[in-house]
Amino acid sequence: MQTISRPSPSSHASPGLSASPSSASSSRNPLHLKVNRLLSANLEDAGTRAALDTLGELELEQQTQVGSSSRASQEPPTTTNGGLNGRTTAATTTAAGAPMIKRGALRTQVETQMAQASTEFLQAFSDVDAKLGLLQSHLDAMHTCCDQVEQQLASTNSGTRYLLEHVEGLRQQRAATTVQQSLVHLFLTRFSLTDDELRILTSREIPVGPDLFAAMNKTERIRSDCRALLSGEAGQGTQAGLDIMEYTSQHLEAAYSKIYKWCTFEARGFGKDVLEVSSTMRSAIERLRSRPELLSEVLDLLGATRSTAIMNLFLDALTRGGPSGLPRPIELHAHDPIRYVGDMLAWIHQSTAGEREFLESLFGIAEDGRWVGSVRAQKGKRGRKAEGGAGSEAEGSVKTVLDEEDDEMRLRKLLDRDMEGCARPLKMRVQQTIKSQEGAIMAYRIATLIEFYKVTMEQTIGKDAHMCKVLAEITESAYEAFFDTLRNHGRSLLRFIQPPSAGLNAPPQLRDALTTLRELMAIFSSSYLEDAPNASSKTDAPKPNEAEDSTTTPTTPPTSMIKANDFSPVLDQALDPALEMCEKMVQSRPLAWDRSIFAINCIETVLSALDGFAFTADRTRQLKEEEGDHVESLTGEHFTSLLKDSGLENLLTTIRTKDPSVPLSSLPFASPTHLQACLQSFSHFLSTTDTLSSPRLSLLPPRIAASIHRSALERISGAYELVLDEVVRDAQRNGYEEGTVRALFRMGRDEVRSVLGVERG
């Protein structure tokens, strides 16, 4: 084996030490080029790395084989020259294998291994080829069998082709028959009734209940669906639709007849006090809505039953009282008219409200949440009570406004029919009570009480109801009796006229009449009229010349009832005779001064009685205007008296009536001497006159007396100012000496006003 000689260290000296002659010779050195190429080689190349890995594996495998063979065939070496010779031999042996691969054995070894692998591959492939030949023989045998089977199937198919075609036809017929059967089943299910449903609709043994309503719902649905059949062309379901309509019509009419008979039986049982409407009864009434004639007969029977029952209950409440004696009979309080009439009307109103609740429950009308007696909501705004059971599908449907109005109309008519029996005994007893009253206050209390319940009942059952008409007649009678009482009282006041007292005070008859009037106004003010803007006022009673026409229906005012025209008839009837009496009494006094004082005292008494009631504002205004006229008259007379006392009367008259061309000093009452006397008298008047009151006005109310006295003093001050202007300002023109005049008129207008207490504010 050849060995590779390695260069000595001296031969590989550094280029720097060898000092090559030039850079060109170093670049042409093959060794230098090879080293540079090796150093610049890319060792990260995948192919190079794979080749190196393969080479390493081959070298390792060869070294392993060499080592094994050398340990198995050789003895340990005998060392003659010591350990040095032994180590040299081993190293030589180990190093001998490696150079074989590096010096050309690699190619041979690779080719040898490739030949061995090819031999092994050919051996294995020959085995596969033998097995594939065996598989081919098996496939040929299988193809032969398949051909035989295919021939047998073809012959069999040709023999059974007719049978298969027949089976396919039967299969198609079966599918068509199945579809037809399903359609027939669905048609019968949708357009026919079961035996149980037919028995429920027609049998009397099965009671009315949810099952009946469910069967009727189904029947109605069938009839509704039949319209689709009847809308088709002739011969395409029309006959079937006609048959179904006739079939269902018979059973549906039988069901309605069954419900009608059951409702008439139940209606006869509503003659008791405590009423409970079952959901079945409510649903039955709802069903009869589509048969108005049957529903009308049922409601007529129910109305007759309830009318008799309520009338008997009313008579028992009047004469017998409650079941155990409580509450006590109403007629025990006949001695107290207000309580007697109020208890009867309250019983009627309570029974009406309870009866309406019963009928609302019967017709399925939902409560509208209003107070009893208040105005009801508009039609169409109330819903229907939800109905349970099997009939809820039809009963829970949305009702139109027309249905709502029909229900309300039926309810009001039936409620009127139920309360009709109580009208006659109520009217008879109330009219007897009204006729027995002699006092105006009690008569008015009864009239307003009846009117309150009349208005309340009108809002509950309507103005056209029989009970409301009876209450309207009773109200008219009550107000007619009340106004008759007022007229009689007025005639009694005018029957005996006496002269006024020495103090010219309001007469006792006027005070008594005003006491009665004030109580009437208090009743009117606290009555329901304050809270009843839609109520019709019965205080618009007939005048004395209209007593025969007392049945005229009053008009409804458009605004609140508290107005002057609502109470004005009562005010006129109660106050006018008293004022007329005062006018006749004052005629007996000869002096206008006394007549005015008496009139003012009477008017002040009336105004104090009317004070605090807004509905008397118009009459108060009229009385104040009349009082103002009398005050003005007294003020003029009082001024004339004070002017005479002041000494300025003749001088003022002279100034007002003189000829402008004549000097004032030349007139008798305006001469300087007379002027001095007048001013002295006026000074004495100023020092002695009381500026707050006057004895001549002591018979008047202090407020009016003070007002009249102040107005008269203001006029006195004005008269002095007129004299002052005419005399002082035009002294020379009027023939006066200016110094003398100024000496006489030492007080100016403001000083006079201050002394009289009438300073300008």
Tens of pLDDT along 122-181? 999 999 999 999 999 999 999 999 999 999 988 888 888 888 888 889 999 999 999 988
Q: What band does 477 get if pLDDT is binned at 50, 70 and 90? A: very high
When pLDDT is averaged across residues 527-531 and rounded to a whole number, the result is 51
pLDDT for res 19? 42
pLDDT for res 64? 67
740, 679 Cβ separation under 8 angstroms = no
pLDDT for res 274? 63
32, 14 Cβ separation under 8 angstroms = no
**Nearest one of 315, 336, 374, 337 to 478, comparing CA atoms:** 337
pLDDT tens per residue across span 484-497: 999 999 999 888 88
Q: What band does 237 get if pLDDT is binned at 50, 70 and 90? A: low
CA distance 700 to 602: 10
CA distance 561 to 353: 25
pLDDT at 54 over 90: no
pLDDT for res 576? 92
**Nearest one of 658, 662, 655 to 724, comparing CA atoms:** 655
Copy the structure tokens of residue 294.
């049957």
pLDDT for res 367? 57
Q: What does the mean pLDDT of the chain come to?
A: 79
pLDDT at 745 over 60: yes
Lowest-pLDDT range of 214-218, 302-306, 322-326: 322-326
559, 533 Cβ separation under 8 angstroms = yes
pLDDT for res 17? 37
pLDDT for res 380? 42
pLDDT for res 189? 80
CA distance 455 to 374: 9
Burial class (CB in 10 A: 0-12, 13-18, 19+), 139: exposed
Lowest-pLDDT range of 106-110, 325-329, 508-512, 702-706: 106-110
Query: 3-class DSSP state for residue 106?
Result: helix
CA distance 577 to 740: 63
CA distance 281 to 287: 10
pLDDT at 534 over 60: no
Lowest-pLDDT range of 102-111, 385-394, 574-583, 658-667: 385-394
CA distance 682 to 692: 18
The fraction of the chain above a pLDDT of 70, given in percent, is 78
When pLDDT is averaged across residues 628-646 and rounded to a whole number, the result is 93
Q: Which residues pair with 505 in a beta bridge?
A: none
pLDDT at 465 over 80: yes
pLDDT for res 668? 78
pLDDT tens per residue across span 97-133: 444 455 567 778 878 888 898 999 999 999 999 999 9
pLDDT for res 73? 52
Q: What band does 517 get if pLDDT is binned at 50, 70 and 90? A: very high
Dihedral class, residue 612 (left if φ above 0, else alpha if ψ from -120 to 50, else beta): left
201, 254 Cβ separation under 8 angstroms = yes
pLDDT for res 26? 60
pLDDT tens per residue across span 647-690: 888 888 888 888 777 777 778 777 788 888 888 898 899 889 88
Q: What band does 434 get if pLDDT is binned at 50, 70 and 90? A: very high
pLDDT for res 258? 93
Q: What band does 606 get if pLDDT is binned at 50, 70 and 90? A: very high
Element (H, E) at 182: helix 106-191
pLDDT for res 80? 39
Q: What band does 4 get if pLDDT is binned at 50, 70 and 90? A: very low
70, 93 Cβ separation under 8 angstroms = yes
pLDDT at 597 over 90: yes
pLDDT tens per residue across span 682-723: 889 988 988 888 899 999 999 999 999 999 999 999 998 888
pLDDT at 450 over 90: yes
pLDDT for res 146? 94
pLDDT for res 67? 61
> Which comes out higher in pLDDT, residue 17 or 315?
315
Q: Which residues of 558-573 are buried (b: 16+ CB within 10 A; e: fewer)?
A: eeebbbeebbbbbbeb
Q: What band does 516 get if pLDDT is binned at 50, 70 and 90? A: very high
- What is the number of other CB atoms lying within 10 angstroms of the CB of residue 652? 21
| Residue 410 identity (one-letter amino acid) | R
Note the pTM of the prediction, 2 decimals. 0.63
pLDDT for res 471? 94
pLDDT at 609 over 50: yes
pLDDT at 369 over 50: no
Lowest-pLDDT range of 115-124, 153-162, 262-271, 739-748: 739-748
The fraction of the chain above a pLDDT of 90, given in percent, is 36
CB-based contacts of 379, cutoff 8 Å, min separation 6: 401, 404, 405, 408
429, 314 Cβ separation under 8 angstroms = no
Copy the structure tokens of residue 429.
């007893």
Copy the structure tokens of residue 698.
């002591």
| Residue 358 identity (one-letter amino acid) | F
pLDDT at 307 over 80: yes
Q: Which long-range contacts (CB under 8 A, 24 or more apart) does 91-98 make?
A: 95/3, 96/1, 97/62, 97/63, 97/66, 98/59, 98/63
DSSP string for 45-113: -HHHHHHHHHHHHHHHHHHHHHHHHHHHH-PPPP-SS-HHHHHHHHHHHHHHHHHHIIIIIHHHHHHHH
Could you give the angle at which helices 649-657 and 672-688 cross, rounded to 10 degrees? 130
pLDDT for res 192? 82
pLDDT at 437 over 50: yes
DSSP string for 576-623: HHHHHHHHHHHTT---HHHHHHHHHHHHHHHHHHHTT-GGGHHHHHHH
Burial class (CB in 10 A: 0-12, 13-18, 19+), 403: middle
pLDDT at 456 over 80: yes
